[in-house]
Homo-oligomer: A and B are copies of this chain.
Amino acid sequence: MKRIKTAVFGTGFVGRIHVEGIRRLGNVEVYAIGVGPDDDGPKFASELNVERVSSDYHQLLKDPKIDAVHVCTPNALHFPIAKASLEAGKHVLCEKPLAVSVAQGRELVELARRTKLRNCTFHNLRFYPMVQQARQMCQSGELGDLLIVQGTYSQDWLLYDTDWNWRLVSAEGGPSRCLADIGSHWCDAIEHITGKRISSVCVDLATFHKTRKRPKAAVATFAGKTLRPEDYDEVLVDTEDYAAVMFRIGDRTRGCFTVSQVSAGRKNSFRWEIYGTKSGLAWDGERQDELWIGQRSAPNQLLLKDPSLLNPKARTYADLPGGHSEGYDDTFKQLFRRFYNSIENPNAEPDYPQFADGLRQLTILEAELASHQRRGWVDVSTER
């Protein structure tokens, strides 16, 4: 009953889902958590039922019992913690975005290559069964040649100028907000599903709230909704609330998507549509178990998640029988299972997004920001 020992850095919304998700595996122990300098460590340790807690990640990384780490801190800390972890010989699973610049991302990819440690950028949305089904259908040619890709990732949790979160501060979140946080999920999913690369982009960004009201006390992601305006600082916002992106992908495919954190009523509306010369696909992450399959000369299909109806390769991503819904947190389990399996089996090919995939999204983001500046098309570097 040997268990791999892991440490989770960050105890916000997503860090807690990591802790719970890791435990589902059975063969991995959440051994330690890394908390922020102002956090009450012992309280977290007791609440989350973990053995060790520390606000000093350097200190924690010296513990030889720790095999792997999860980096779930604000974006700007991804790079230093991931780097220190690799240098300490730990396998690293890092939340997206991998870093806040292409240069940082490149350094992490290089370091991971050198240390030969397992490395993962947490693009968990790939791990919905229906996303995998779409991938298999696209890549097996069931759609024919791809023509059009379109969709959106829209949320409303930053609609009001009284909504506040660390992601609004570019010093903590990086120079892009909407495209970095959710646009990167959209692009990663599309490249993963289609097996094609976005080659150029033309982008329009908007910051609707030029200033926002920062409350004096800190607020967790998504928690802002229940706050009421009280004591605020007026803060300049230099990251985008919205972006539209036209793009070219692969040889002849055209694409278009929007991202927004200010779309009233859209809680986490991650949608894409893919049309080929034979058939089309559409998916909505809020109805995650349904895949629409469009046909010209036959009825459209509505495939409800059911292992017996999925492509054999997609089937391993679904643990429950047909019609028994698997949700957002199940994508965590699916990814973690594969990540830790690759740690236990040094010869296993990684079947999850790695640091190179995180760097890829930073590269696309760099082109997106440049395109908005130039008000025209910009090529995406093909560096790997």
Q: Select which of B48, B222, B323 is within 8 A of A266 by beta carbon.
A: B323
Contact between chains at B24 and A20 (CB < 8 Å): yes
A119 within 8 A of B: no
Q: Select which of B48, B275, B300 is within 8 A of A260 by beta carbon.
A: B275
Contact A265 to B292, CB < 8 A, known contacts A51-B1, A155-B323: yes
Contact A328 to B322, CB < 8 A, known contacts A264-B278, A266-B294: no
Q: List 27 A-B contacts (CB under 8 A).
A: A26-B48, A27-B49, A147-B242, A148-B258, A155-B323, A156-B296, A204-B246, A204-B254, A206-B252, A208-B252, A222-B321, A222-B322, A225-B306, A244-B255, A244-B256, A264-B277, A264-B296, A265-B279, A266-B323, A267-B306, A267-B323, A268-B323, A297-B309, A299-B301, A324-B328, A329-B330, A375-B377
Of A101-109, A282-290, A354-362, which binds chain B? A282-290
Measured between alpha carbons, how far is A49 from B24 in the docked complex, in Å? 11
A195 within 8 A of B: no
> Chain B residues near A324 (CB, 8 Å)?
267-268, 327-329
A150 within 8 A of B: yes
Q: Is the interface of A mostly helix, strand, loop or mixed?
A: mixed
A157 within 8 A of B: yes
Measured between alpha carbons, how far is A50 from B159 in the docked complex, in Å? 47
> Chain B residues near A280 (CB, 8 Å)?
156, 263-266
Chain A, interface size category, equals 35 or more
Measured between alpha carbons, how far is A36 from B24 in the docked complex, in Å? 23
> Chain B residues near A276 (CB, 8 Å)?
264
Q: Select which of B226, B264, B269, B294 is within 8 A of A308 by beta carbon.
A: B226
Q: Select which of B3, B295, B323 is within 8 A of A286 by beta carbon.
A: B323
* Least Cβ–Cβ distance between A76 and chain B, in angstroms: 22
